[in-house]
Structure 1
Amino acid sequence: MAETSARLLRLLSLMQGRPDWTGAELAERLGVSGRTVSNDIERLRTLGYPVDATRGAVGGYRLGAGAALPPLLLDDEEAVAVAVGLRTAAGGAVAGIEETSLRALAKLEQVLPSRLRRRVNAVQAYTVPVPAGRPAAVVEPEVLSLLAAACRDRESVRFDYRDHAGGSSRRRVEPLRLVSWGRRWYLVAFDADREDWRTFRVDRIEPRPPAGPRFPPREPPAPDLAAYVSRRVSAAAWRYRARVLVHAPAEVVLERINPAVGVVEALRSDACVLDTGADDVATLAVHLGLLGVDFDVTDPPELVELLGTLSKRYERAISRRMQTREAGSRPRAVSPATTAASSGERSASTRKPRRS
C-alpha cells in the first residue's frame, strides 16, 4: 500500500507539472506497466482529481479543473518560489491580498522541510527592498480579475476613468493586456470612441458592468507591450523631449538604455536615432553623456545651450589641469646673485683650512 501511495503522489506531481501525458510516457517515468498507470489514474479519479482522457493517435491523460482545489505537489524549487512570491505579494500594491497571502504563506511554511524553510528565511532576512519614492497606487483585486477576464474572453468593457488632473470620462474599450510596471497596473486597450490605442492606470478605473459584446482580435500596438507601456508612461511625464542622432549601431545603444529612457530607431549599420526625454535638460545631458558614443543634438534649444556650456566648462577644466602639470615640470628661474652666492658657498666649503 505504501508503494502504491508513493507512486500515486509521483503520478500526481508529474501531471501537475505538464498539461498532457501519454500513457507510455507515464509508464516509463514511473517504471510500471501501462495497465498499472490506468489503474492509478482511476484511483486519482476516485480521490476527486479530475483526470481527462485525451484523444489522438496514441491517446493520453490531462489533469483537469474540478469543483474544488485539489492538493498541489511542489518540488523544492517550486516551493521556494511560491513562498518568496507570497511574501512579496503580502507587501504589494493589490488591495486585500496582503492578509490572504500571509495565510497561504503560513500554511506553506508549516509543511516546508527545515532545509527549504532556511532558504526562504535567508531570502527574506538578507533582502532589503528599496522603498518607493511615492506611495503605491492600490488597485482592487476584483477590478484586476474583471479586466483580465475581459482580455481573455475578448469582451469589451465600459468604465469611468479619472485622469491625472482629476477629470472623469466614460470609456468603452476593447481590452488587450494588463501590464505591471513599477508599482502600478496598466490596461492596454483599444478605445472604441477615440479609435486608437490607449493606456489606462487600473487604480483610476471604475468598471460599469456587465461586460459588452465580444470583439474580433486586433493587431497589438507594439510587439513588446511592457516596453510600449513604459515608454508611454515615461513620455507622459517628460517636460523636455529630444531626438538625438547617435553615431553607433542601434544594438549598442539598446544595451545601454532601458525602454523607460527612450526609443531607438535604426538608421544605418553605424547610426540610429534616440527619441528620449526628461523632466529637465540636465538629466538629458547626463544620460547622453553616459552613452559613451558621439551624438548630434538640434532640439530642444535648452539642451543644445546646456551642452555648449558643459563643453566649455570641461575644456576649461582640462586647460587648468594642463597648465598645472606644465608649471610643475618647468625648471625654476634662478637670479645671478643667487647663483654667485651659491657658488661662493660651494667654494668656501671646498677650500682647505690653513695650518696654524
Structure 2
Amino acid sequence: MLETSARLLALLSLLQARRDWPGQTLADRLEVSPRTVRRDVDRLRELGYPVQATRGPDGGYRLDAGSELPPLLFDDDQAVAVAVALQTATMSVEGVEEAALRALATVRQVMPARLRQRVDALQVTRVAKAGWQPSRVDTAVLLAIGQAVRAREVLRFDYAGVRELAAGQAGDRRRVEPHHVVTWGGRWYLIGYDLDRADWRTYRVDRMTLRTPNGPRFAPRPLPAADVAAFVAERFEGHDPLPCRGEAILHAPAAAITEWTRGQAIVEDVAPDRCRVSAGSWSWTGLAAWFGMFDVEVELIGPPQLREATAALAARFARAAAG
C-alpha cells in the first residue's frame, strides 16, 4: 500500500486523467478503502485542489477548475511536451516571451535529470524559408478572437491589406461572424463570414485591429466545405496538386506541430494537447510516414487508403526491426 504522500500524488494524477471517477473505482486503483479515499480527497481540498463530490449510484469525485491555479502533476511525456511547447511559443505569438521563459525554467527545475537532458538536447532555431514569411501576433488579440468564436459574437475590426500596410493605414472596417482560428504557413488566420460582403473570408490575424465591444451574438452558419481543413486548402491552394491527402489527430498542441510543417499542412486546434492536421503527399505510404515523423501519438481520420498504407508501413518496419 502506498504511503500517504505518495497516495495523494497518485490520487491527484487519476483525478487529472479524466473528468469523473466513481469512489469505489478510485479505491480499487489505489488499493485502499473508500473511507481512505474520502480522507485523501479532504487533504487535497485543504491543499487548494477543487475536488467536488458527484452524485450517482456509487458516488464519486471530480477535479473542477478553481479560482486559483494549484500545483499540477505531469507524467514524463506531458512534462517534455510542455517544455517543448514553451520553447516554440514565442516564435509566432508576441507578449508571452518572458512568461514562457519563466514557465520553462519552473518546469525544468523540477524535472528529473533524464527529462532535463531530453529537453536541453532540443535547441530550436528559426530559419526563414524563401517565400515563407511567418508572422507574430499579439497574445491578447488571439485570446479576444478565440473568446468571440466561443461566445459566437460578431467581431468588429479594421483590416489592413497590402495597400493599407504600405501607407500605414488601419484599413477597412469589417463586421464578421468568427468561425475558427487556424495556422497556415507560419501565420494565424481567422475564418469568418463577412456580414457586409455576404461571403466567407479569411483574415490574417496580424493585420486585424480589434474594435470593442463585440457585436451581437449569432447562430453559426454551415461552412461551405466539408471541414475547416478543406476550406483553407481550397482558399489558399485553389486546387490540391498532391494526389494523396489525408487527416489525423496528433497528440500535441497545434503550435508545436505548426512550427515544423512549414506551410505543408493545415493545423487546427481541437484541444489544448491535440490538433487536427490535414496534409498531402505524392503517395499514401509517404503521407503515413510524414504523420509518423512527429514522435507523438496519432489517431488516423482517413481516408481508408491512409489507414492501409499505415498498416503496410508498420508491418514493413516490424520486419526490419526483427532483422
Q: Give the TM-score, by structure 1 length.
A: 0.63
Secondary structure of the residue aligned to 1:149 is helix
Where does the alignment leave 5 or more consecutive residues of structure 1 unmatched?
236-241, 245-251, 263-289, 292-356
Aligned equivalents of 2:264 and 2:39: distance in 1? 59
Task: Indicate the structure (1 or 2) with the bigger Cα radius of gyration.
Answer: 1
Q: Does 1:182 align with 2:172?
A: no
Please state how far the C-alpha of 1:37 moved relative to its aligned partner. 1.1
Please state how far the C-alpha of 1:29 moved relative to its aligned partner. 1.5
Aligned equivalents of 1:56 and 1:198: distance in 2? 47
- Does the 8 A contact of 2:192 with 2:202 survive in 1? yes
In the alignment, what sits opposite 1:18?
A: 18
Q: How many residues align?
A: 245
In the alignment, what sits opposite 1:33?
A: 33
Aligned equivalents of 1:162 and 1:71: distance in 2? 42
Please state how far the C-alpha of 1:119 moved relative to its aligned partner. 1.1
The 5 Å alignment of 1:1-356 reads 3-90=3-90, 92-124=91-123, 129-133=126-130, 134-166=132-164, 168-235=171-238, 253-255=243-245
Secondary structure of the residue aligned to 2:137 is coil
Q: Which portions of structure 1, spanning 4 or more consecutive aligned residues, are displaced by more than 6 angstroms?
A: none
Where does the alignment leave 5 or more consecutive residues of structure 2 unmatched?
247-260, 266-281, 284-323
Please list the CA deviations of residues 226-282 of structure 1 after superposition, one character each: whole Å capped at 9, or x if unmatched. 3422431344xxxxxx899xxxxxxx92259x9x899xxxxxxxxxxxxxxxxxxxx
Please state how far the C-alpha of 1:9 moved relative to its aligned partner. 1.2
Moved more, 179-188 or 14-23: 14-23
Please state how far the C-alpha of 1:221 moved relative to its aligned partner. 2.9
Amino acid at match of 2:204: R
Structure with bigger helix share is: 1
Q: Percent identity at matched positions?
A: 53
Aligned equivalents of 1:22 and 1:164: distance in 2? 57
Please state how far the C-alpha of 1:147 moved relative to its aligned partner. 0.5
Secondary structure of the residue aligned to 2:192 is strand
- Structure with more contact order per residue of length (Cα contacts < 8 Å, sep ≥ 6): 2
Aligned equivalents of 1:107 and 1:88: distance in 2? 16
Aligned equivalents of 1:243 and 1:43: distance in 2? 57
Amino acid at match of 2:155: V
- Does the 8 A contact of 1:181 with 1:230 survive in 2? no
Please state how far the C-alpha of 1:110 moved relative to its aligned partner. 1.0
- Does the 8 A contact of 1:231 with 1:261 survive in 2? no
Aligned equivalents of 1:205 and 1:16: distance in 2? 37
Aligned equivalents of 1:37 and 1:221: distance in 2? 51
Secondary structure of the residue aligned to 1:198 is strand
Query: In angstroms, what is the RMSD of aligned CA positions?
Result: 2.7
Aligned in 2, Cα 1:165/1:59: closer, same or farther, shift over 3 Å? Answer: farther
Aligned in 2, Cα 1:232/1:107: closer, same or farther, shift over 3 Å? Answer: same
- Does the 8 A contact of 1:181 with 1:226 survive in 2? no
In the alignment, what sits opposite 1:280?
A: none
Secondary structure of the residue aligned to 1:211 is coil
In the alignment, what sits opposite 1:333?
A: none
Aligned in 2, Cα 1:156/1:32: closer, same or farther, shift over 3 Å? Answer: same
Q: Give the TM-score, by structure 2 length.
A: 0.69
Aligned in 2, Cα 1:108/1:7: closer, same or farther, shift over 3 Å? Answer: same
Amino acid at match of 1:173: V
Please state how far the C-alpha of 1:53 moved relative to its aligned partner. 2.1
Please state how far the C-alpha of 1:30 moved relative to its aligned partner. 1.0
Aligned equivalents of 2:240 and 2:10: distance in 1? 58
